[in-house]
Amino acid sequence: MESLLGNEDLKIVLGEVRRFARGVVAANVERPEHALPRPSLDMLVAEATEAGFIPEAGGEPTGLWVDLDDPLGPTLSARTIETLASVNPGIAWTCHVRAMPVWLAQRLDAPEVLEGQETAVALQGYHGLGRAALPRYLAGSELGCNDCAMLSDWLLPAQCNARRVVHAPAGFEAVLSPYFDGEAVRWIRQPIDALDPLPLGPTLGLDEVDAVGLASNDAGTPLGPDDPEEARKIFAEALVIQSLALVAVGLGCLRRASALAREQAKTRIQGGRSIEHHPAVQSLLGSAHAAVVGADALLSRMAEGPLRANRIGDVFAARAEAHPLLCRGATDALQVFGGSGYMQDVGMEKALRDTQQLRLMGGTPGELERFVAEWERVR
């Protein structure tokens, strides 16, 4: 399939994103270790929407996760998120969170569900990645009773004290939740007040983004789709998009940490010369840069378009490899600062927490690897 975007178009759009990130966003991030205040976050999201980086329900089809049938569409969205994350991971993740329900509503052919309310998408299940039941379902394999029970309980857990976690800025009023009806994973729109929201605040990292615990119930408006095969594709595509965003934010975060480490090595003097000449520091800088290069290659592989549900195995495999790489690179960059790197006044500690947080969201590397193993077995 020939791309309608073209490499030159891609460069032009990403150039605009870089100018926005380094100009508008950077001007509001006083120091990299500080979480972006909520008023500033809201203002930047509004400006990103006005600039066309975040799509609006019922608006022009521009911005994140638009044109995913184009071979360069996934790359454009992933690299946009990465560029924003290189300045501030919180704004990058927030832009993704705001764009995700617009994409999903369009895929469900129900754009009207977003009118007048801030909406989030709840993809985080209760049992990791649904254990072996999820890859069997997405591969179209026959499901046993235990698989059906697992998928149902994973998405809408029956335990009275079980809560699903949504990582999104505070203030959203509704959530689009997947549920398994015994045949397929379908979607339901739920008002947030019906889910007894429990603010959990920032977790390990991504200080700009709150975690909200949602009670489990099926109150809301079913959205379909009716066709079981289409339902399977939409859910797989949603998981692929989420994976692209997680790795893109992590890569942008690591690029920033690696740049800070190089600057520190150039300016810090020890033994009469800058520490960038010390073999131990060179090893750390080289390792951090290698992590950037490796994660960049993995993101490129994950974003190869157009978006297809049957690529979820490859995407999860790449993500399982990318997250440990990102965390190791952030750790090496932090070590360049010595003991001061662990303090909350140079930005490295936050970068490490952010990459670790991303590693835990939407399936850990171990859970992703087990998904891939079962996916390959049953395909």
Is residue 116 situated within a structural domain? no
Q: What is the CA radius of gyration of the chain?
A: 21
Total domains, the chain: 3
Q: How confident is the model at residue 54 (pLDDT cuts 50, 70, 90)?
A: very high
- Pair of tokens at residue 234: 């939409």
Question: Helices marked H in 28-88 — which ranges?
Answer: 38-50, 73-85
* Domain-terminating residue out of 228, 258, 281: 228
- For the residues 274-297, what does the mean pLDDT come to? 96
Question: Are residues 282 and 189 both part of a single domain?
Answer: no
Question: Are residues 253 and 338 both part of a single domain?
Answer: yes
Most confident of 5-9, 36-40, 161-165, 292-296: 292-296
Is residue 29 within 8 Å of residue 87, measured between CB atoms? Answer: yes
Question: Are residues 328 and 252 both part of a single domain?
Answer: yes
Strand 185-191 versus strand 119-121 pairing type: unpaired
Question: Are residues 185 and 246 both part of a single domain?
Answer: no
* Domain-terminating residue out of 60, 77, 111: 111
Q: Examine the pLDDT at 343 and tell me if it is beyond 80.
A: no
- For the residues 278-303, what does the mean pLDDT come to? 97
Question: Are residues 323 and 206 both part of a single domain?
Answer: no
Going by C-beta distance under 8 Å and a sequence separation of 6 or more, which residues neighbour residue 34? none
Is residue 64 situated within a structural domain? yes
Is residue 1 situated within a structural domain? no
Q: Examine the pLDDT at 258 and tell me if it is beyond 90.
A: yes
Is residue 300 within 8 Å of residue 322, measured between CB atoms? Answer: no
Domain region containing 373 = 231-378
Domain CATH code at residue 76: 1.10.540
Q: Examine the pLDDT at 1 and tell me if it is beyond 50.
A: no
Domain CATH code at residue 316: 1.20.140.10
Question: Are residues 276 and 352 both part of a single domain?
Answer: yes
Question: Are residues 372 and 237 both part of a single domain?
Answer: yes
Is residue 284 situated within a structural domain? yes
- pLDDT per position as a tens digit, 293-322: 999 999 999 999 899 999 999 999 999 999
Q: How confident is the model at residue 81 (pLDDT cuts 50, 70, 90)?
A: very high
- pLDDT per position as a tens digit, 110-160: 988 888 788 999 987 776 788 899 999 999 999 999 999 999 888 887 665
What pLDDT was estimated at residue 28? Answer: 85
Most confident of 201-215, 291-305, 336-350: 291-305
- For the residues 75-89, what does the mean pLDDT come to? 96
Q: What share of the chain is helix, strand, coil (3-state, %, to 5)?
A: 60, 10, 30
| Length of the chain as a residue count | 379
Going by C-beta distance under 8 Å and a sequence separation of 6 or more, which residues neighbour residue 120? 97, 100, 101, 166, 168, 172, 174, 175, 176
Question: Are residues 246 and 364 both part of a single domain?
Answer: yes
What pLDDT was estimated at residue 127? Answer: 62
Q: What is the largest CA-CA distance in the chain?
A: 71
Question: Are residues 370 and 240 both part of a single domain?
Answer: yes
Q: How confident is the model at residue 292 (pLDDT cuts 50, 70, 90)?
A: very high
Question: Are residues 295 and 222 both part of a single domain?
Answer: no
The mean of the pLDDT values for the chain is 90
Question: Are residues 67 and 29 both part of a single domain?
Answer: yes
Question: Are residues 212 and 236 both part of a single domain?
Answer: no
